[in-house]
Structure 1
Amino acid sequence: MHQLEEFKQYFARTTLYLELNQQYTEYEIFEITQGKFEISEVQAAFEKWAKQSATDHKRAEFAKNLNHLISGNYILVRKTI
């Protein structure tokens, strides 16, 4: 649910939201049925946002892990085969 709230905050600042808000109420824009947004444009925006959010998270984790490795406090250990 936290991810959904983040998306709502992000989406509310877009021009697409402003366009949709002229035709629909906020409730209608963010209405979800069977795990998907009712309005296809909102669903597409959510999927794009979720993918970008996941990519950003992975990049941040990679940088953090790389910093740990470079710091010398951690070592790489080969997996046993």
Structure 2
Amino acid sequence: MMTATFGEFMSHIERVKQQYSAVKNIKDKLPHGHLLIQMAVSENYTGNTLEEIQSVYWNNCLISLHPVVIYFRGEENELKHTSYVHV
């Protein structure tokens, strides 16, 4: 069981390394006038009010965060980025 799980984990690590390498390659070769947009999602944060009553505790709203990073070339052809978080 442990060896099978370890093998799956090592396979996962290899895929992550390849993905990071591919993204780095895209950033290094990003032409002027083009964008690289990386997006993710982080779901189910619970929203609470500062002074909530007990009934609000059982009726919390869920919030999803959508972080975005946009890479682009600046005037001097240097790689720049800007970040946003959509709620």
TM-score, shorter chain, exceeding 0.5: no
* Larger helix proportion of the pair: 1
Q: Which has the larger radius of gyration?
A: 2
* Larger strand proportion of the pair: 2
Give the TM-score of the pair, scaled to structure 2.
Answer: 0.38
Give the TM-score of the pair, scaled to structure 1.
Answer: 0.41
Higher relative contact order (CA 8 A, sep 6+): 2
